[in-house]
A and B are shown apart, each in its own frame.
Chain A
Amino acid sequence: SQKIEQNSEALNIQEGKTATLTCNYTNYSPAYLQWYRQDPGRGPVFLLLIRENEKEKRKERLKVTFDTTLKQSLFHITASQPADSATYLCALDAQNAGNMLTFGGGTRLMVKP
């Protein structure tokens, strides 16, 4: 069966360090993968999209990698700040389903000052 796995345990890191979050998937052949941020009591907010033919994408302090052989995406936040504390969700395009996305369960990041 299709599965998207993100570490359900919270990731606690010190301010200034690099946070690395993992998204693994099975039985998908996604054309692209997205990362979203969700703060408590709010809807998710789009951060980055990476396509299957792209190895890496950067936006300011964010970097995403996409390895279709390993079926894994890594999401990095460099020079992390307490304001980066949130839940981060990865999402894949659902196969043969138009514009639909399937979301992982998310990983909560806590950046301590």
Chain B
Amino acid sequence: GAGVSQSPSNKVTEKGKDVELRCDPISGHTALYWYRQRLGQGLEFLIYFQGNSAPDKSGLPSDRFSAERTGESVSTLTIQRTQQEDSAVYLCASSLGQGQFTQYFGPGTRLLVL
């Protein structure tokens, strides 16, 4: 069956530009998560959605980062005025929610800010 998909797979942008990253979760998964992973580092939690509400935005590193989710479907992570330190892999995961804890990850979007 279809897993979590993310687009684009790679994005190169210039410092100061805005970028939008997209995540399509597994159908029926109510919970959706965004993480950031810098080269050689662990996963850094960014934001969590249950349905289309975001009970926890505590991981967003600055107000340049925002995310939204449409229903229990697609989510977009937007980074405004990108900086070089934003360069990383952005991973999306989904889970069934309702006490089902396993997270299924997408392949990630590799963002390079020049």
Q: Which residues of A contact B (CB under 8 A)?
A: 32, 34, 41-46, 49, 89, 91, 93, 97-106
Contacts and interface: CB of A to CB of B under 8 A. Distances in A.
Contacts, number: 60
9 contacts: A34-B102, A44-B43, A44-B93, A89-B43, A98-B55, A99-B48, A99-B101, A101-B101, A103-B35
Given A32-B101, A34-B102, A99 B95 contact: yes
Given A98-B50, A99-B31, A103-B42, A43 B101 contact: no
B43 A49 contact: no
Contacts of B97: 98-99
A98 B47 CA distance: 13
Contact of A100 (B56, B99, B102): B56
Given A42-B108, A44-B105, A45-B105, A100 B33 contact: yes
Contact of A46 (B41, B56, B99, B102): B102
Q: Which 10 A-B pairs have the closest CB atoms?
A: A43-B105, A105-B42, A103-B43, A99-B31, A46-B102, A44-B105, A43-B91, A100-B48, A43-B108, A43-B106
Contacts of A41: 107-108
B82 to A, nearest CB: 22
Contacts of B107: 41-43
Given A44-B103, A93-B101, A103-B45, 15 more contacts: A32-B101, A43-B105, A43-B106, A46-B102, A49-B101, A89-B43, A97-B56, A98-B97, A99-B31, A99-B48, A99-B50, A99-B97, A100-B33, A100-B48, A102-B45
Interface in B45-85: 45, 48, 50, 55-56
- Determine chain B's interface SS by DSSP, over half rule: strand
Nearest to B9: A41
Contacts of A105: 41-42
Nearest to A100: B48
A89 B56 CA distance: 22
Contacts of A104: 42
Q: Most chain-B Cβ atoms within 10 A of its Cβ — which of A97, A99, A101, A103? A: A99
